[in-house]
Amino acid sequence: MQKIITLKFDEFGFDPQLLDGINAIGYENATPIQEQTIPIIMQGNDLMGSAQTGTGKTAAFLLPVINNIITSEANNFIKALVIVPTRELAVQIDQQMEGFSYFTSISSIAIYGGTDGASFEREKQSLIDGADVIICTPGRMIAHINQGYTDFSHLKYLILDEADRMLDMGFFDDLMKIIGRLPEKRQNLLFAATMPKEVGVLARKILVNPMEVSLAVSKPAEKILQVAYCVYDAQKIPLTIHTLNSDKLRSVLIFCSTKSATKQVSRELKHSRISVAEIHSDLDQKTREQVLLDFRNSKIHVLVATDILSRGIDVEDIDLVINYDVPNDGEDYIHRIGRTARAQSDGVAITFINQKEMGKFAEIEKLLGEEVYKAVVPTEFGEGPAYEPKKKFQNAGRGKFKGGGGRKR
């Protein structure tokens, strides 16, 4: 059996200032994605990387870029641009950036929408002054570019993180507009959790003779108990309330596929006097940050969210994840339920499957390599539909429902 050798961070040849930051954070051994990508990036190659959340991907691109910037001569110019799909991910990457570069003179700023005029002015000044590393969402960066003061002429590094998610969110044109303002000679790094054909199209447009690193999508942790209920739509709210009231749960994440569903579920749970908050892109950044802080500090026990939380947000000690809607694909399912059973703890993931979603869930099971246990809907909520993923259904969600589990006034 081949022995697995894990590199330590002091073996990459990093600058001592960067190593001081790495040691202060407590990092010692590199993850597989870091082992494979850091040497490629330090050698100046373009890279296309496929790796999911939780593999150490952010450090894999930040560390070599920081190291290279330390040794560069140009001052007061933007040297690296990291583009991400969501505000939360921009903030998270900027926080890691601050930690790694703490003992260096490198500057960075997260630029994203949903903030006030004062924040926009701070972003503007950082762009004018030439912060070394800019972490941004596409729409907000376009707003600054349109003002005419953004100078990318000395930029050396372009990093697209969660590229598949950005394309899903319709950012292709914005990305191409931003990239059109960058110097042609630069190093390009593209990371995605999945590699649909749209990502391949984008990669061919921006990458030059890229090296490729792909880590297979990992299966959910064995400590996660996975359960599914086949339900009619009308049974989802009562079953959610029943689940939340049946056990003393400290921390629960409920994922919905749309903002409207997120708002509806949150509203219904509040009517049942459940400690709940919602988070989605309609909320301004200050509100979203406060909601996450309250959730982490257990001031709120249930958080209803769109998929902005399924990737890129590190929330520990989640007892239960409920997929109120079936995710679009297997990778999204793994990202969602991976929020639980972290830090050596156990966790539970429950998925509600209506008739129209059965085929989609069967594809997820195919990726998992096993069937997820189908629990029986409690009798007080009426009988749910049979699990028939190959059958075509009309008017899903309008099946028989006897009631029960209604609002508590």
Question: In this predicted model, what pLDDT tens digit does every residue of 97-141 receive, in sequence order?
Answer: 999 999 999 999 999 987 778 999 999 999 999 999 999 999 999
Residue indicated by tokens 């292709």: 172
Q: What pLDDT digit, counting tens, does each position of 268-307 carry?
A: 999 999 999 998 878 887 888 888 889 888 899 999 988 7
Rounded-to-integer distance, Cα 39 and Cα 28, Å: 17
- Quote the radius of gyration of the chain (alpha carbons, Å): 23
Long-range CB pairs of 178-185, under 8 A, 24+ apart, other chains included:
178/81, 178/83, 178/138, 178/141, 178/142, 178/145, 179/205, 179/206, 181/145, 181/150, 181/152, 182/81, 182/152, 182/155, 182/158, 183/152, 183/153, 183/154, 183/155
Domain ranges of the chain: 9-214, 224-381
DSSP 212: E
Residue range 9-214, CATH number: 3.40.50.300
pLDDT at 341: 58
pLDDT for res 5: 55
**What is the Cα 219 distance to its own chain's centre?**
17
Closest CA to 89 of 67, 116, 120, 62: 62
Q: Which pLDDT tens digit goes with each residue over 164-214?
A: 889 988 999 999 999 999 999 999 999 987 778 889 999 999 999 999 998
Q: Which residue has the tokens 């597989």?
A: 32
Strand order of the β-sheet with 320-323 is 276-279, 302-305, 252-255, 320-323, 347-353, 224-230, 373-375
E-strand ranges in 84-210 read 108-111, 133-136, 157-160, 187-192
Q: For residues 239 and 380, what is the distance between their CA atoms, to the nearest angstrom?
A: 10
* Torsion 204-208-209-214 (CA) sign: negative
Tell me whether the CATH fold assigned to 9-214 matches the one assigned to 224-381: yes
Tens of pLDDT, residues 37-95: 999 999 999 999 987 666 788 999 999 999 999 988 767 899 999 999 988 889 889 99
**Do the bridges between strand 80-83 and strand 157-160 make them parallel or antiparallel, or are there none, so unpaired?**
parallel
Instruction: Give CA–CA dist 56/68, Å, rounded.
Output: 19
On average, the pLDDT of the chain sits at: 87
Q: Map residue 25 onto helix, strand or coil.
A: helix
Q: N- to C-terminal Cα distance for the chain? A: 62
pLDDT above 50 for 399: no
pLDDT, position 310:
59
Tokens for 319, please give them: 């007892």
**pLDDT top residue among 63 and 345:** 63
Amino acid of residue 314: D
Q: Is the pTM of this model over 0.75?
A: no
- Identify the CATH homologous superfamily for domain 224-381: P-loop containing nucleotide triphosphate hydrolases (3.40.50.300)
Assign 398 a pLDDT band (cuts: 50, 70, 90): very low
